[in-house]
Amino acid sequence: MVSAIIHEVAHGWVALRCGDTTARDAGRLTLDPRAHLDGFGSVALPLIMAIVGGPVFAFAKPVPYNPNRLAHPRRDELLVALAGPASNLLQALAGTALVALAWDWGVPAVSSGAMAPVAFSWVLRILTTYVSVNLVLCFFNLIPLPPLDGSKAVLFFLMGEARRKYYELQQYAMVLLIVALYVLPTFLGVDPLGAYLDATAGSLFGLLMGLVG
């Protein structure tokens, strides 16, 4: 949820830089969790998914913005959309740097007895999970399916009838996500979303951890 909150603040901050004060006026340019957590998406949904089994994801309340108040609406809407995934990528890189620092400091500390191996293991586990979660958030949100951020990137290249058709797809977005997350893997043994995240977030995670090691 820390990563998701920063993701949403990034949307609002870029919108503000592009001329739209909606997020700022709504009090959403803050890291205070109370301004961002959603009772269903941040708590109930991930608990239900964990109980049912399978993929677990959560979301914070989307930051509001008004595209009509952007200085250059078509371009700036794309920048606002990509700000969220970009913030997760930056968090993953920052987390990787912390993993490297923890490794350089922790290995000698464990060897000298100044730090318990179990404590060192938990520090690494927390930091590597932070990196992994941010990479998954980055690439998951880049999926070109409304209302995910990737859909705004697609809209940037669509005009006229094609753009209208793509807007119509929004009403089926949640159904398509449920099918990709649960129906295909459970009943058909096909997991396109998992394969995509393995090829993107998983591969980049392996590369970053390889650089640390």
Active site residues: 8
Whole-angstrom Cα distance, residue 152 to residue 166? 10
Other CB atoms within a 10 A radius of the CB of residue 62 amount to: 17
**Number of helical (H) and strand (E) elements in the chain, helices listed first:** 10, 0
Other CB atoms within a 10 A radius of the CB of residue 136 amount to: 20
Q: What six digits make up the tokens of 28?
A: 């959403």
Q: 7: alpha, beta or left, given left = phi > 0 and alpha = psi -120 to 50?
A: alpha
Please report how the helices 203-212 and 73-112 are oriented relative to each other, as an axis angle in degrees rounded to 10.
40
CA distances from 192 to 140, 143, 185, 203 (A): 12, 12, 8, 16
